[in-house]
Amino acid sequence: MSIGLLLLRLAVGLTLAAHGTQKLFGWFGGPGLSATGGPSESAGVVQDGKAARIASRVRF
């Protein structure tokens, strides 16, 4: 049972890490930091580059 939980935690952790690197660095075909603030700006939230970097790092 503990091996199964370990494998599940590794799979979930690696998936989340891959998603974070897409947002922050643009790896694995992601948009990178330059496009991270786009959805927030389209919703009316004005962000500068610093806010996009903080949001990306929190997700990573």
Q: At what angle do helices 2-25 and 49-59 cross, to 10 degrees?
A: 170
Could you tell me if 56 and 26 are in contact, meaning their C-beta atoms sit under 8 angstroms apart? no
Query: pLDDT tens digits for 2-33?
Result: 999 999 999 999 998 888 788 777 787 777 77
- Distance between CA atoms of residues 60 and 49, nearest Å: 16
Is the pLDDT at 40 greater than 80? The verdict is no
Q: What is the pLDDT of residue 6?
A: 96
Question: For 52, phi and psi rounded to 5 degrees?
Answer: -65, -40
* pTM for this entry: 0.56
